[in-house]
Amino acid sequence: MENDQTNLLKETKNKELVNTVLTPLKINLPLDNKMAPTNNKDEEDETKTPKLVKIILVLLFSIIVFFLAGVFYYFALKSSFIDVPRESVEKTSLPAKVNPPIINEDIVVTTPIIKEDIVVVPTFVTKVVDYKFPIDENILKNIRSIDGYCDEVSVAQPYKEDAFLCTDSVKNYDPCFANINKDLSIQPDKVVCQTNPLLPEIFIINLTKPLLKTTSPKPINDNWAWFLELEDGTQLSPYITARPTIDGEVAFYGSKIVNGERTVLIGNLVKGEIWTAKKKVLKWSTNKNWITKSSEIVNIKTVWQ
């Protein structure tokens, strides 16, 4: 019984001791709570400082971006990649005025070429040769001669009074040219024949009969030629017999036959700085007649009159 009371007394004292120790702690708890706000303010100051730094960095970055954009725009105006004509910028404030277009020589505009629109500009003008009896007696001494006579005017060149059709009783030669210049010492009883002026086939006919005298003036036709050469080198002379009809059109000039083909010129020559003519290429068919292979307008390089 006494032991029980002694134990109870010890437990009571222990509880009082615990209360005595814990009581100051309970009293100090409000003091700890009062210090909490002070710590929160320090934390807020610490959080405000990084935000201010961020704002300053954003402003600096924005200023740098605007500065670089201005520099790029300045150099872009002077760059060849953006071609802004300076004159057009300076004159925008002036009254409306029609100015000639500014051509940028650095820009090359390529236009598609259509075959039908291609025009080949010749690098020559048609040469007109006024053929005459040679005035150099040395030339006449060094060329061959035959006997013959001239009792017809020239068919190949009917528009010159010194041109004749001559013969040696076997073959006709047209044209042959007489010396009609009485001031020359060359004998008037000779004519010179050269059917192709591009070849050295020139000869003299010693007249066995007096030269035919013409009393009426000859007509003038200055777009005629007794020999001509086209731009492509084709050589032609006028028909001195019957003129052939090709597709209902009369051919005035013809070439020699080469590889079964012949070139003819339809109608008169068209006179100009560059003479032209309507050309037809004929081909000998299996039906033993000439058929048209091609037709075109061609340039004439040289004419002999």
Q: Helix %, strand %, coil % for the chain, to 5?
A: 30, 30, 45
**Rounded-to-integer distance, Cα 249 and Cα 246, Å:** 5
Burial of residue 249 (CB within 10 Å: 0-12, 13-18, 19+) is middle
Rounded to whole angstroms, what are the CA distances from 199 to 165, 195, 202, 231? Answer: 20, 9, 8, 18
Condensed to tens digits (0 to 9), the pLDDT of residues 190-224 reads 899 988 999 888 899 999 998 877 655 667 788 99
Q: What is the pLDDT of residues 177-194, one digit of tens each?
A: 988 765 545 567 889 998
Q: Residue ranges of the domains in the chain?
A: 22-109, 132-207, 227-304
What is the per-residue pLDDT for 300? 97
Which residue has tokens 């006494």? 2
Asked whether the whole model's pTM tops 0.75, one would answer no
**Which helix (DSSP H) or strand (DSSP E) does residue 153 occupy?**
strand 145-153
User: Each residue of 77-136: pLDDT tens digit?
Assistant: 665 444 444 444 444 444 455 454 444 444 444 444 444 555 566 688 999 998 888 766
d(CA 27, CA 113) in angstroms, rounded, equals 106
